Structure formats: C-alpha cells, structure tokens
Amino acid sequence: MDFELTAEERALAETVKEFVDNRVEPRMVEIEATNQIPDEIFAEASALGLFGISIPEDYGGSGLSRFSRTLVHQMLGRSGFGFAGAIASHTGIGSDGLVSIGTEEQKRRYLPRMATGELRAAFAITEPEAGSDAGGIRTKARKQGDRYYLNGVKRFISGGARAGLITVVARTNSEQKPKELSVFLVEPSFPGFRIGAVYDTMGTRGQPIAELVFEDCEVPEENRLGEEGKGWIAAMKILNDARPLVAGRCVGACERLIEISTDYAKNRKQFGQAIGEFQAIQFMLADMATRTEGARWLTYHAATLADQGRAKPEIISMAKLFASEALAFVADSAIQIQGGSGYVSGNPVGRFFRDARVTRIYEGTSEIQRLIIGRALLRR
C-alpha cells in the first residue's frame, strides 16, 4: 500500500503545520499557565477552516476524507494535546454523530455554525459509574409528550465547558437491557442543564474537561439523534471513527519530539563532543523513529480502509493502541536524552510527556483496544 501524499495533501499538511509551529506553539507557555486558549488562536483556526474539516461541503465545511482528516490531526499533534484536543473534541467525536445519522433539519440547524467554530461541539458518554463499560450508563431520558427529560451526570467531558452543542448518550430503556441507549443533541441553554466541576488536569492544558449535570434537562424530541434505543451502535461508531484521529495526533507529537531530540543531540556537548555521537543516544533516537514510523503506517492504513468503506475495528484499535504507546515511549526518551534539562518546567518535552498519558485512556483505554483486537482474532 502506497501512502505517498498527493500535492493537495502535502499542501494541506504544510498549511496546518505552519500554523501550529508559528502561531500555536509560541503561545503554549501562556496556554499552559492559564489553561485557556486565546480567542485569536481560535479565530485563526476558524479562518483556516479547521473547525469544518469533518463537515460536508453542503453545510459549509470542507468534508475532508478520513485520511486527510487524520493528516490534519497529525499536524495538530505537533503542539501537544491542548489546542489539538480543543479542535479534536469538535471535529471528531463532537460532530461525527450529527454528520452520520442526523436528520436534514438537524444538520441545517447546526452544521453551518459548527463549520466555522461559532458553535463548538462535544461528546458526553463517560459517567462516574460508566467509563470503559458504556453499558453501565445511568443517565436516563424519560419521554413525556414531545419532550425528553434527562437526569444524570457526565464527567471528564473534553470541551464540555465551552461547547454550544453536546451529543449526549442516555438510557431510554430498562437497565436490564444495557445496550438500549439513545443519543440526544443538547444545548447548554436547555432548562435543567448546568456545568458542574471543571477539572484541573496534569496535561492537555487549554482544553478543560468538565462535569455536566442534567436535572430534568428538557430536550425537544426533534433533538433526539437517530432512533430511540439504537444509541449503542451510534456511540460505538463515533468512538471508533475518532480513534484514527487520536493516533494521528500521537504520530505528530512523536515527530515533533524527534525533531527536538535530534536538534538537542547535535548541539549538546559532553566529554568534548556532541552527545549525538554517542551510541547510546543514537540507539534511543533509532527506537523513537522506528516506533513513530510504525505508528504512522498503522494510522494511515486504518484511515485509508475507512475511506474505502472497509474499516476494520481491530485495525483501528491497533493504530490507536500502538500510536499512543509509541508516544509514551518517545516522550519519555525525549526527556531522558535531555537529562535534567528535560525535567525542568517550561521545557516542551515535559508538556508532551504529560499530554501523552491521556492518549492511553480516552476514546477507549489501551486495555479496551487490546480486548477488541483479541476478540477479532478469536472470531477468525
């Protein structure tokens, strides 16, 4: 399989790379300190069309292929997972459900504003008692007339504190049927909705994650996404589609860490020579590059299969698993190469190290990915 980029794909990647390297990265110390991304950065992202990469052209977006979207996320990963996460929670899990199973009326109402970033989106499935076990969801949606009333709590919701539209997974049937869930489009202005705790996290600064509280939250029936009771399939598809994007961001982060590390190895001198001359450093760089290249190929393969209508959940899980664990290794190695300097606050390698940890948790833990892969093998 040939993953040579077309001229159009190279231009897309270079445009996003230039924006991330020259506009986002110089602001990351500020973003880390304030845990907020400046509005002007979001405005520039909107002007570049980053909020609309998953939105079809009919609704004002660019409707990029899965491969091109993954390529964009790869470039976003070059600054870590704060700004990249803010874009990802919107262009991936936040919008994919509406794009894939929304009614025409729902799409016309929301997607044009989502394409510009005027309306930012998020996805809410995780609960205090339901993480990897999505079948354990306790948030309930009770129908009365032409309204649903949602009660429950979602937590660790990326982009939840700033979202103008939230895709919420809730139970509309008996707990005896754990997979009979439904999906709703919830606006923060709906009566009975409020933001609870906003968590202070070790990484992904600039992208606060929040607790969302539903207390008889009133949702019009026309805001149900898809059929009642069919939400399990929709939710799993949303998560599955997001995993190559996570893998792409991991690859981009790995590539940036290798650039930082090779530059350091060329310029840092010990024992009268650049440390890059030492075999120990060369071996570390070789291992970093090998894992990154393997992650890139798996990620591109997963995205290409999706574009061809041949998406395989186990291949997607392999990409997400391998890329996230490659990033953990590469980030740790980048700190080791710099020694004490890598451990000092303000050094970007420390930011990548902290950001890397969440990639083995969200959109399905590493353990869940291994479970998906193992089950697929046993079904053959």
Distance CA 185, CA 121 (A): 10
Distance CA 28, CA 37 (A): 9
Distance CA 317, CA 306 (A): 13
Distance CA 141, CA 143 (A): 6
Crossing angle of helices 348-358 and 231-267, rounded to 10°: 160
Q: Which two tokens stand for residue 265?
A: 């190895």
Residue among 32, 127, 211, 363 flagged as catalytic: 363
Buried b vs exposed e over 141-159: b needs ≥16 C-beta within 10 Å? beeeeeebbbbbbbbbbbb
Q: What radius of gyration do the chain's Cα atoms show?
A: 21
Distance CA 32, CA 209 (A): 14
Distance CA 74, CA 89 (A): 15
β-strands 147-158, 224-225 pairing = unpaired
Q: C-alpha distances in angstroms, 106 versus 14, 163, 273?
A: 34, 17, 63
Q: Known catalytic residue: 14? A: no
Distance CA 288, CA 282 (A): 10
Q: End-to-end alpha-carbon separation of the chain, Å?
A: 23
Q: Assess contact for 241 and 92: CB atoms under 8 A.
A: yes
Distance CA 331, CA 349 (A): 7
Q: Assess contact for 124 and 89: CB atoms under 8 A.
A: no
Q: Which two tokens stand for residue 47?
A: 């002007």
Quick one: residue 271, left, alpha or beta (phi over 0 = left, psi -120 to 50 = alpha)? left
Which among 72, 255, 80, 97 is positioned nearest to 165, based on CA atoms? 97
Q: Report, as residue numbers or ranges, the catalytic residues.
A: 363
